[in-house]
Chain A
Amino acid sequence: MKKTARPPATKSAARASKTDHPAVEKLRTGISSLDIIAKGGLPKNRTTLISGTAGSGKTVFAVHFLAAGIALGEPGVFVTFEESADDVRKNMHSFGWDLAAMEEEGKLAFVDASPDPDVETVEAGGFDLGALLARVQNAVKKVKAKRVSVDSLGAVFSQFSDQAMVRGELFRIASALKGMGVTAVLTAERTDDHGPVARFGVEEFIADNVMILRNALERETRRRTIEILKFRGCDHQKGEFPFTIVPRGGVIVIPLSAMQLSMKSSNVRISSGNAELDEMCGGGLFRDSVTLVSGATGTGKTLTVGQFLQGGAAAGEKCLLLAFEESRDQLIRNATGWGFDFERMERDGRLRIVCDYPDLSGLEDWLVTIQQTITDFGPQRVALDSLSALENVGTLKSFREFVIGLTSFIKHHEITGMFTATTGSLMGGDSITESNISTLTDSIILLRYVEMFGEMKRGLTVLKMRGSAHDKAIREFTIGQGGMQMGRPFKNVTGIIAGAPMHVSPSDVERAWTQFDTDVGDRRRRAEDRAQS
């Protein structure tokens, strides 16, 4: 009776609500770029397990999660099983998080469950972790917490002998956390970067979502990555993403795939600082392009960069020079030799020179540091001399990621970039840098030594210029006061780029041209024009 009496509308509405069940809501964590790989943030009101080996950054992540939440106006509770609350407060100071102040403001509460070495404990009969749960609930209520971090689950197991009890109690606490309406991060240790998710084999079942932090040793360098293994019922980006932990910043994820999607492109041309080079490039470099200048040592890469900066400063732009090969004083002296006054440009606020040893930190850290410098200074041009110096700091993969990260960051901010790469051999050849990143850059300028009758000459060619016509000739250039003076194209010489220049008699050149029977006259005329100019 009742069934028939029910209007059909409600029935369909009920069905609709079943199929249109709202997707799992995400909580924006506020941790830079973690939200990008997590596609919006961590699943709201759920528990996420952060698993990693010793030193993989779990505690920093757990604290950062809360600190970022407090910055967004969401209070948090930190449950520590490992370090004492005092130690955590002290250790996190270097990241710029004043936890004691947050506690005073009533935005953060600690539940200190770390073992007390002064008190001897005896187990006599069955027990549960009811007091712990009561304390967590109390703390959540006290600060009206929206976020809870538990660090770490493994340490609970080591405090008690009855593992089965601990397991059961952790399940109870995890489900209680959900009931409290908080988004929780639980950390757990694992013994191996690529082994089971966590040491006790149960941690991953306690949480809805699992993220893994890795800190792998590759070629004597540490490489941190973060991977979202599972997000129950919602989407995330797959695979490992490099991340770094920096003072005054905490966890910074480098989301490569996300960066590449948002690149812009413009048709505005800017000067490379050398009118002839601009002409070779078809009218200048594109505003948000990245140019790779490749050549052997001494071919004039730093000079090309100097010109680029000088050109920027002359046009009233701000320029940033990241120098990994020469000291500041050396750079300034060399620039003076070419007629560029770097010191004055700096005084005028047009230039900032950052000189550092490439080995000072890992590539991920460099990327973050450089990005911060760019954000602070806000330049229109960025030059990096040289990429090859950074090549050996990390693995090839890290290096590629660094270049991808930097290129996309530069383009995203509509900055013109110029990187240099050193080739190993004096004549021709290419470098690891070049072969790995040439596809990532928009333009490539090759600088080469050309041996001619007992003399080393320098040649320049624009190898690639994405989205533009450019001069295909290899031109000679000289270096002197005022920088680079472009000369004629090398005639009667072949094999410059291959590193084996060979002289051919003009008649051979003539014959080569005539082998192609289309527009022979045209080509010849053009070649002659070029020779005359």
Chain B
Amino acid sequence: MVHLCDVSIGMEGYLSKYVLTLYVTGTSPRTRIAIENLNRICKEDLIGKYELEIVDVLEHPQRAEDERILATPTLIKQLPPPLRRVIGDLSDKDKVLLGLEVRPSSSSSSPNASSEAP
């Protein structure tokens, strides 16, 4: 399990914090691609407001069982609700953001985005 935290503490930040878990199988090329893609997306669009855990299902099959994961890689967004799943190597950034219900950073300062925060 790998924990990657990049959270700017503060009440406001906590509320809008993204808690993500990425389930992967071993160290396959697909795993590597998925991690790279996710890191890039986090840096570009979720900077300062996400918490990411990477779980290798070969080492922790029970975690996969509990979460009922079938496919790898699978990205799960636990918070903020609702729970969302994105499967695949995350190479399609637009779909990942759509799946996580994250607006691209370019529009994050728009009034629409801020109205969603509280």
Interface residues in chain A, defined as those with a beta carbon under 8 Å from any beta carbon in chain B: 111-113, 116, 118-132, 134-135, 137-139, 159-160
Which residue of A is nearest B55, CB measured?
Answer: A131
Once bound together, how far apart are the Cα atoms of A122 and B70, in whole Å? 13
Q: A111-B65, A128-B30 are in contact. Are A135 and B57 (CB under 8 A)?
A: yes
With contacts A124-B91, A132-B69, A135-B57 known, what are 20 further pairs, Cβ within 8 A? A111-B65, A119-B84, A122-B86, A122-B96, A123-B88, A124-B95, A125-B33, A125-B91, A126-B91, A127-B30, A127-B71, A128-B25, A129-B70, A129-B71, A130-B25, A130-B57, A130-B71, A130-B72, A131-B57, A131-B64
Which of A112, A128, A139 contacts B72, CB < 8 Å? A128
B64 touches A160 (CB 8 A): no
Is there a chain A Cβ closer than 8 Å to B13's Cβ?
no
Residues of A within 8 A of B85 (CB): 119-122
8 smallest beta-carbon distances between A and B, as pairs: A130-B25, A122-B99, A138-B61, A125-B88, A124-B95, A125-B91, A125-B89, A130-B72
Residues of B within 8 A of A116 (CB): 68
Residues of B within 8 A of A124 (CB): 86-93, 95-96, 99
Residues of A within 8 A of B18 (CB): none
Residues of B within 8 A of A128 (CB): 25, 30, 71-72
Residues of A within 8 A of B30 (CB): 126-128
Is there a chain A Cβ closer than 8 Å to B62's Cβ?
yes
Which residue of A is nearest B84, CB measured?
Answer: A120
Which residue of A is nearest B58, CB measured?
Answer: A134
Residues of B within 8 A of A119 (CB): 83-85
Q: Contact flags (1/0) for B71-87 with A, using CB distance below 8 Å?
A: 11110000000111111
Residues of A within 8 A of B83 (CB): 118-119
Which residue of B is nearest A136, CB measured?
Answer: B61
B68 touches A113 (CB 8 A): yes
Q: How far is the CB of A112 from chain B (nearest CB, A)?
A: 6
List, sorted by A's number, 11 A–B pairs whose CB atoms are closer than 8 Å: A113-B70, A120-B85, A120-B99, A122-B84, A122-B99, A127-B88, A128-B25, A131-B71, A134-B64, A138-B64, A159-B70
Q: Contact flags (1/0) for B37-73 with A, using CB distance below 8 Å?
A: 1000000000000000000011001101100111111
Residues of A within 8 A of B72 (CB): 127-131
Once bound together, how far apart are the Cα atoms of A129 and B24, in whole Å? 10
Q: How far is the CB of A512 from chain B (nearest CB, A)?
A: 86
Once bound together, how far apart are the Cα atoms of A111 and B57, in whole Å? 14
Chain B residues touching A, range: 35 or more
Residues of A within 8 A of B92 (CB): 124-125
Once bound together, how far apart are the Cα atoms of A64 and B70, in whole Å? 25
Which residue of A is nearest B93, CB measured?
Answer: A124
B61 touches A127 (CB 8 A): no
Which of A123, A126, A135 contacts B95, CB < 8 Å? A123
Which of A111, A121, A160 contacts B86, CB < 8 Å? A121
Which residue of A is nearest B100, CB measured?
Answer: A122
Is there a chain A Cβ closer than 8 Å to B1's Cβ?
no
Q: How far is the CB of B105 from chain A (nearest CB, A)?
A: 18
Which residue of A is nearest B71, CB measured?
Answer: A127
B87 touches A121 (CB 8 A): yes
Residues of B within 8 A of A125 (CB): 33-34, 37, 88-92, 95
Once bound together, how far apart are the Cα atoms of A517 and B118, in whole Å? 119
Is there a chain A Cβ closer than 8 Å to B5's Cβ?
no
Which residue of B is nearest A128, CB measured?
Answer: B72
Once bound together, how far apart are the Cα atoms of A445 and B100, in whole Å? 81
Once bound together, how far apart are the Cα atoms of A446 and B87, in whole Å? 75
Residues of A within 8 A of B89 (CB): 124-127
Q: How far is the CB of B92 from chain A (nearest CB, A)?
A: 4
Once bound together, how far apart are the Cα atoms of A127 and B73, in whole Å? 6
Is there a chain A Cβ closer than 8 Å to B98's Cβ?
yes
Q: How far is the CB of B58 from chain A (nearest CB, A)?
A: 5
Once bound together, how far apart are the Cα atoms of A132 and B90, in whole Å? 19
Once bound together, how far apart are the Cα atoms of A119 and B71, in whole Å? 14
Q: How far is the CB of A469 from chain B (nearest CB, A)?
A: 73
A127 touches B87 (CB 8 A): yes
Once bound together, how far apart are the Cα atoms of A128 and B28, in whole Å? 11
Residues of B within 8 A of A118 (CB): 83
Once bound together, how far apart are the Cα atoms of A123 and B72, in whole Å? 11
Once bound together, how far apart are the Cα atoms of A120 and B83, in whole Å? 8
A138 touches B73 (CB 8 A): no
Could you say which of A112, A120, A130, A135 has the most chain B C-beta atoms within 10 Å of its C-beta?
A: A130
Which of B70, B82, B88 contacts A131, CB < 8 Å? B70
Residues of A within 8 A of B95 (CB): 122-125
B84 touches A135 (CB 8 A): no
Could you say which of B58, B61, B71 has the most chain A C-beta atoms within 10 Å of its C-beta?
A: B71
Q: How far is the CB of B74 from chain A (nearest CB, A)?
A: 7
Once bound together, how far apart are the Cα atoms of A128 and B74, in whole Å? 10
Once bound together, how far apart are the Cα atoms of A159 and B34, in whole Å? 21
Once bound together, how far apart are the Cα atoms of A137 and B65, in whole Å? 11
Q: How far is the CB of B87 from chain A (nearest CB, A)?
A: 5
Once bound together, how far apart are the Cα atoms of A321 and B65, in whole Å? 54
Once bound together, how far apart are the Cα atoms of A180 and B118, in whole Å? 52
Which of B28, B33, B34, B65 contacts A138, CB < 8 Å? B65
Which of A129, A139, A159 contacts B65, CB < 8 Å? A139
Which residue of B is nearest A111, CB measured?
Answer: B65
Once bound together, how far apart are the Cα atoms of A350 and B115, in whole Å? 85
Once bound together, how far apart are the Cα atoms of A159 and B85, in whole Å? 13
Once bound together, how far apart are the Cα atoms of A134 and B59, in whole Å? 9
Once bound together, how far apart are the Cα atoms of A159 and B72, in whole Å? 14
Residues of B within 8 A of A113 (CB): 68, 70
Once bound together, how far apart are the Cα atoms of A131 and B56, in whole Å? 9
Once bound together, how far apart are the Cα atoms of A130 and B61, in whole Å? 10
